[in-house]
Amino acid sequence: MLVRGEVELGRSVHRARLYATAHGIYELFVNGERVGDAELTPGFTAYGERLQVQAYDLTGILREGSNALGAVLSDGWFRGQVGLTRAHDQWGSRLAFLAQGGVDYEDGSRAVFGTGDGWRGRRSHIAAADGIAGQSTDLRRAAEGWNSPGFDDSAWATVAIAEHGYDTLVASPAPPVRAVQELAPLAVSRVGGAQVFDLGQNINGRVRLADLGPRDTELEIVHGEALDADGDVTTAHLDVNVPFLPHPLRAGQVDRVVSSGRPGEVFEPRHTTHGFRFVRVEGHPGELTVDDLTGVVVHTDMTRTGWFECSDDSPQSPARSRRLELQGQRVRHPDRLSDEGASGVGPVIGRSSSRPRRSSTTSPGSRPSGCATWPPSSGQAASSQTSRRALRPNPRAGSSPSSTARRGGATRP
């Protein structure tokens, strides 16, 4: 899902910060830029108990005049498949997004804005996104310029507003998930009608594919940790087949993309991760090379505090393998469980609030309007209860961006 809104700032901006969270996974965009380098935000959580909030320094991104804010939403751990039985809708059936920003103007005055009335939404080019099954994207449906000021969203639906309490909102307790490394394939080979890439080691993450073929090309990208006797990628050993299930469950780890044919088009599914060494690309009409695909390692950006040295530092060495396994399993939660967009139920926009949590970081009387569902319906009030909570400013951070926050980077609130 895509949701967007615009805010008019009447004076020159001195400092700006924005807080955001979601039921589901969100990517934040401001004035055409993807903000920050955090992935899979807000991260895994027990939504009934707590919901992590991320803080972003928007100094230098927000400007005097019209500014566009938007988010790409997908199911994530909130309503996506989790666990052995692939249960879904564990916390609710509606996606939701909440954001609240504060601006210090050059003249010393302040303003607060956020999600609420006036925001609009539509289905995105991400048709489905699941941390187990994978992500499906139709780039022909991409709305170019949707996250920039002045975009014509008159054909989009008005999001529905939902009110939820703020008591579960907390600062992120762990370092953010980031793309921490990129790997070039060691080789690519033809196996039947597909092309198989070898990254040389198992990783947790995704791929970036730079050659998607001409318009309407449909590619299937299978990720696996092993090859079968024919040299093809296999995930059969990961299928779930236990007595209490009515039928076996496939391992998943399959991404799909349809090319729009635009020059420079790249596919990098940010709303899922996989565990893999080998990548099978099927459906491409041409011959791919190792330069066309990149492995992107994604995990919690932990600080390394210990080292072990051994004369055997090959990828197969036990110490190195264990460290890579540990890193790959730490994606806000020691599992690769996620699901981001398959159910197709409309999102909710969180109603931001200036009500303080222990202390206030917003100016009195400013109440951006807030939590909204999309598409609106007569049953909106009931359905929105399962969707989202509103964001609260962090009392420890104050209204000004941290001096250590990078421009556009995610910081702990």
Buried b (16+ CB within 10 A) or exposed e, 90-107: bbbbbbbbbbbbbbbbee
Q: Is the dihedral of CA 228, 234, 238, 239 positive or negative?
A: negative
17 falls in which pLDDT band (50, 70, 90)?
A: very high
What tens digit of pLDDT does each residue of 288-302 get?
Answer: 999 999 999 998 887
179-329 shares the fold of 2-174+338-411: yes
Residue with token string 């964001």: 391
Q: Which architecture, in CATH terms, is 179-329?
A: Sandwich (2.60)
CA atoms within 13 A on the CB side of 402: 17
pTM: 0.78
From 211-220, 291-300, 321-330, 402-411, the region with the lowest mean pLDDT: 402-411
More confident residue, 406 or 161: 161
Mean pLDDT of the chain: 80
Q: Which of 265, 320, 327, 295 is nearest to 187 (CA)?
A: 295
What are the residue ranges spanned by the domains of the chain? 2-174+338-411, 179-329
191 or 306, which is more confident? 191
How far apart are the C-alpha atoms of 116 and 348, rounded to whole Å? 10
Q: Give residue-wise pLDDT tens across range 68-84.
A: 999 999 999 899 888 77
For residue 60, give Cα distances in angstroms to 80, 115, 318: 35, 21, 46
pLDDT at 360 over 70: no
Query: What pLDDT, on a 0 to 100 scale, did the predictor assign at position 328?
Result: 55
Quick: pLDDT tens for 305-352. Answer: 777 777 776 655 666 666 666 655 555 443 333 333 332 334 455 555
Whether pLDDT at 18 is above 60: yes
Is the pLDDT at 397 greater than 60, yes or no? no
Instruction: Assign a CATH topology to domain 2-174+338-411.
Output: Jelly Rolls (2.60.120)
